[in-house]
Structure 1
Amino acid sequence: MYIELNRDGRKSLPTQISEALGSRISSGLLERGARLPSVRKLAVALKVSQVTVSKAYAELERQALIHCEHGLGCFVSDADQKKGHEEAYWPQQYDDYLPRAQLWRNFDYSEVKYPFHLAAIHAEMLPLKPIGAQMASLVLEQPELMATYGNFQGDHELRETMKAHLQERGIILPSANLMITSGSQQGIDLVARTFVGPGDTVYMEAPSYTGAIDVFAGRGAEMIFVPMDSEGMRVDILTKLCDQRPPKLIYTCPTFQNPSGVTMSTARRQRLLELARSYRCLIVEDDPFSDLYFHMPPPPPIKSMDVEGHVVYMKSFSKVLAPGCRIACVAAEGNILSRLIAAKSASDLGSPLLTQRAVLPFIAKKYNAYAENLRVALHNRMEKASKLLKQYAPSNVSWVLPAGGLSLWLELPATTDITELHALAKRKSISFLPGDVCYSGETKSRHIRLCYAQLSEADMEQGLILFFTLLSDYLKKG
């Protein structure tokens, strides 16, 4: 079993080991009942003392994540069923380099009737028919597209369309400075694989997007989470932290932030960019939701103020058009972009040309009108969810209504066992996103995220009433 240890880091080695194993357990990479390596074997593999591993195992046992039996070994806790301690099937002992996989686990709710955990838009609100018709037409009339590798940087015509789209939002760049990726998730991964290595310091908002945490954890980065307030990331706190540990990269989702829904003010965006200039580091600006505002447009992207190439900007179209098409645009300059293109070429030989051409006409001619109608529909959804909250949610649950986006971020009482609540909800065929997965390590959160856009209106209303009733009954018992 491989665990990336930072021997010069702030955290002790036992803590690093226990958090790494805890993340593997919570995200399902280590299955229930699985046997852990012996103390001696793991100590040899990690080049640490057996005392260090013993302390890590003791902490995991204190958290009830594992149980150890004298003469038999240590096993991942399994509350649902009793398993024998036979020798583990060989794949369980086959080394991997995955420190956690919360994003994968968060999508694994196919059996749930009310999937509030998934930040997505219901199919009836998406332009699937026109995009599907365009794809069908391309298959019939230009079947050679399926026999053609796409340009590593992305289809030229689509990049020209993206250039016009970004210009409307204040980002003035030639199409040569743009790259098409298979969703923003691939863009984040390309930046991490290109510029982040073991021990590098990555600053993120607290809480942050689960998929980005998974990626940076996979690179062995030391992630430091910066608190937020109503104006977004606390840049004053970030500045003090940077004085102690200079950043290699700062990741932010500044507009209708995932998962909190908070939007960073213009002043904070300017200060964040100034900080990146002073430390000569990159900012990854992840922007999937800025077109989904309810009243006033949000502040301009950080990238619109960037004149020295410190910001790698990512604009995803997957969520708002067709998640199955996996289309995003990455904007960067000079050698930063060229290295990202090189990384992409090694990753997938270029995004599929067919899907790029399928979404192109819609983005070029119909996107703005569609986005305007979508904003109205989502605002109505949010208002309905808000009324249900006020009517059915317990009085000791708090929230701030978002000015855009897809989700609500609820704060529960400090005594709430969210793991237990999650299990109870799942029995009622309801899912939500626990706040814990939006941090690295074993940070405990009092928050949960509920998406109001994923279901039909009738199912959303029924599911939220059912969940808030369950929540009320649970908190009364506590």
Structure 2
Amino acid sequence: MHIDLSRNSSVKLYLQIAKTLADRIQSGLLPQGTKLPSVRHLSSLLAVSPVTVSKAYAELESNHLVTCTQGKGCYVAEPSVSVPREGALDLSWQMSLVDYLPRAQLWRNFNHSRQVPYSFHIAAIQPELLPTREIIADTRRLSSENPDAMAVYGTFEGDLALREVFAAHMNERGIRTVAEQLLVTSGAQQGIDLVARTFVGAGDVVYMEAPTYTGAIDVFTSRGAKVMMIPMDEQGMRIDILTRLCDTHPPKLIYTIPTFHNPTGVTLTTVRRTQLLDLAQSYHCLIVEDDPFSELFYKAKPPLSIKAHDQSGHVVYIKSFSKIVAPGCRIACVAATGSVLDRLVAAKSTADLGSPLLTQKALLPFISHRLDQHLVWLRDQMRDRLTSALHTLQRYAPPEVTWYTPEGGLNLWIKLPSVIDIPELGRLADREGISFLPGAVCYAGGMDSNHIRISFSYADKETLKTGLRKLCRLLGEQLDHSVIVERKPIL
């Protein structure tokens, strides 16, 4: 079991060990019932004292993640992921294989094979609202008229015609770029991963909003980065706090979702965007600007991207296109300049030799000629669902429950009273066929959070309203129960 320890960190070694093991347990990488290494074995493996390991195990036990019995050892207590049993096969030897995955919350919480009636955990658009039939028709026509699209490799950078369309799309939105400065990736997730694998190593400081996109946390922690999370307010990331921390911990990279932030829905103000870019320039670090939702605005257009103000190549801009058109095609675009782009292309070449040419060609006609019209219609549909979700919450949610009202995107960030047990709420919701994203997974280290994220975009309006009413009822029942428990006399 590989655990990176920073001997010079202010965080005590036993807490570093406990945090790493907690991340693995909560991600499902250490399933329920797994026996942890003995104190003596792990202390020898990590070159720490047995007392340090014992304190780490005690910390995990106090958080109900493991159970320890004298003479028998420590076992994972909390159920993580339901995994089918392998019959009579004995696969226990596999736990001796060293891996380098510190956490995998993306795998655990975004399983698209999980079918429930009220899928609020997926920040995706209802399939019926996507132009998949048109794209399938374009694919059939392409494959019959141009069979070479399946017989040849594409370029590492991506199809030139598609990159030219992406460049035009970005220029219309204030980002001055050309096709030669773009890289097509297999979804935005690969774009984040390429940046991390190219520029982030063990101990490098990566700043992120608190909370933020779970998949990005997984990527940067897997590189051994020192992830530091910056609080947010209604104007976005607190640049004043970031600035103070940078004096002590200079950044290698700053990851941000400035427009309709995931999960909160907050938009970073223009003033703070400028401040963030100035900060990156002064420290000669990269900003990774993740933009999954900026086209989905329901009032005024959002501010120009940070990349639109970038004159010196400090911003790597990642734009997902498949999310709003055809998620299964996994198409996104990375905009960068200079040697930063060259190194990203090199990383892409070793990762997969280039994204599939057929899917790039298949999306080209729609993105070229019909995307803007589709976005106008899609904004109306999503605005309607957001309005329905807000009205349902206003009518049925307990008064102690609050939320942030976004002006775009797909998510609602809901704050629950501290007495609500979110894991228990999740189990009760699961019985009702309701899924949501626990806020804790949106923090590095699994920080406790009394928030949940609800995505209002995947269900139709009636299903959305019914599911939210059911969830509000469960919240009310939990609050009623907590009052009874609190008022129970102590005998």
Check whether TM > 0.5. Answer: yes
The equivalent of 2:385 in structure 1 is 381
Matched, 1:123 2:131: no
**Residues 349-368 of structure 1, C-alpha deviation per residue, up to 9 Å, x if partnerless?**
00000000111111111111
Q: In structure 2, how many angstroms separate the alpha carbons of the residues matched to 1:197 and 1:188?
A: 14
Superposition RMSD on alpha carbons, in Å?
1.6
Matched, 1:233 2:234: no
Matched, 1:442 2:446: yes
- The within-5 A match list for 1:49-128 is 49-78=49-78, 89-108=92-111, 110-128=114-132
The equivalent of 2:10 in structure 1 is 10
**Residues 54-101 of structure 1, C-alpha deviation per residue, up to 9 Å, x if partnerless?**
1111100110100111111110005799x9xxx971112322110000
- The within-5 A match list for 1:193-342 is 193-342=197-346
**Residues 122-177 of structure 1, C-alpha deviation per residue, up to 9 Å, x if partnerless?**
01111111111111112222222112111100100001001100001100112111
Q: In structure 1, how many angstroms separate the alpha carbons of the residues matched to 2:46 and 2:17?
A: 9
The equivalent of 1:405 in structure 2 is 409
Q: In structure 2, how many angstroms separate the alpha carbons of the residues matched to 1:164 and 1:365?
A: 12
Letter in 1 for 2:352: D
The farther-off stretch of 72-81 and 148-157 is 72-81
Matched, 1:25 2:25: yes
**Residues 227-267 of structure 1, C-alpha deviation per residue, up to 9 Å, x if partnerless?**
11111000000000001100000000000000000000000
1:319 alignment partner, SS class: helix
After TM superposition, where is structure 1 displaced by more than 6 Å over at least 4 residues in a row? none
Matched, 1:176 2:180: yes
Q: In structure 2, how many angstroms separate the alpha carbons of the residues matched to 1:107 and 1:79?
A: 17
Letter in 1 for 2:106: L
Structure 1 residues 142 and 152: alpha-carbon distance in aligned structure 2, compared to 1, 3 A threshold: same
Specify which of 445, 449, 452 is matched with residue 456 of structure 2: 452
The 8 Å contact of residues 264 and 404 in structure 2, kept in 1 or not, is answered as no
Number of aligned residue pairs: give it. Answer: 475
Structure 1 residues 297 and 381: alpha-carbon distance in aligned structure 2, compared to 1, 3 A threshold: same
2:123 alignment partner, SS class: coil
The farther-off stretch of 335-344 and 124-133 is 124-133
**Residues 318-349 of structure 1, C-alpha deviation per residue, up to 9 Å, x if partnerless?**
21011100000100001000000000000000
Q: Which runs of 5+ in 2 are unaligned?
A: 483-491
The 8 Å contact of residues 28 and 105 in structure 1, kept in 2 or not, is answered as yes
The 8 Å contact of residues 239 and 275 in structure 1, kept in 2 or not, is answered as yes
For normalisation by structure 2, the TM-score amounts to 0.95
Specify which of 405, 422, 426 is matched with residue 430 of structure 2: 426
1:75 alignment partner, SS class: strand
Structure 1 residues 237 and 78: alpha-carbon distance in aligned structure 2, compared to 1, 3 A threshold: closer
Matched, 1:152 2:156: yes
The 8 Å contact of residues 199 and 222 in structure 1, kept in 2 or not, is answered as yes
The farther-off stretch of 141-150 and 372-381 is 141-150
Q: In structure 1, how many angstroms separate the alpha carbons of the residues matched to 2:368 and 2:386?
A: 28
Letter in 2 for 1:319: K
Displacement, 1:458? 2.0
Letter in 2 for 1:90: W
Letter in 2 for 1:144: D
Letter in 1 for 2:327: P
Letter in 1 for 2:98: D
The equivalent of 1:363 in structure 2 is 367
Structure 1 residues 88 and 183: alpha-carbon distance in aligned structure 2, compared to 1, 3 A threshold: closer
Letter in 2 for 1:282: L
For normalisation by structure 1, the TM-score amounts to 0.97
Letter in 2 for 1:300: L
The farther-off stretch of 40-49 and 170-179 is 40-49
Q: In structure 2, how many angstroms separate the alpha carbons of the residues matched to 1:475 and 1:150?
A: 57
Displacement, 1:45? 1.7
Q: In structure 2, how many angstroms separate the alpha carbons of the residues matched to 1:328 and 1:79?
A: 35
The 8 Å contact of residues 153 and 341 in structure 1, kept in 2 or not, is answered as yes
The farther-off stretch of 344-353 and 33-42 is 33-42
Letter in 1 for 2:21: L
The 8 Å contact of residues 116 and 452 in structure 1, kept in 2 or not, is answered as yes
The 8 Å contact of residues 31 and 79 in structure 2, kept in 1 or not, is answered as no
Q: In structure 1, how many angstroms separate the alpha carbons of the residues matched to 2:358 and 2:323?
A: 18
Letter in 2 for 1:40: R
Specify which of 186, 191, 201 is matched with residue 190 of structure 2: 186
The farther-off stretch of 93-102 and 346-355 is 93-102
Letter in 2 for 1:37: P
Structure 1 residues 205 and 79: alpha-carbon distance in aligned structure 2, compared to 1, 3 A threshold: closer
Q: Which runs of 5+ in 1 are unaligned?
A: none
Counting aligned pairs with the same residue, the percent is: 55
Q: In structure 1, how many angstroms separate the alpha carbons of the residues matched to 2:14 and 2:365?
A: 54
Q: In structure 2, how many angstroms separate the alpha carbons of the residues matched to 1:50 and 1:127?
A: 59
2:322 alignment partner, SS class: coil
Q: In structure 2, how many angstroms separate the alpha carbons of the residues matched to 1:197 and 1:164?
A: 34
The 8 Å contact of residues 34 and 88 in structure 1, kept in 2 or not, is answered as no
The farther-off stretch of 108-117 and 312-321 is 108-117
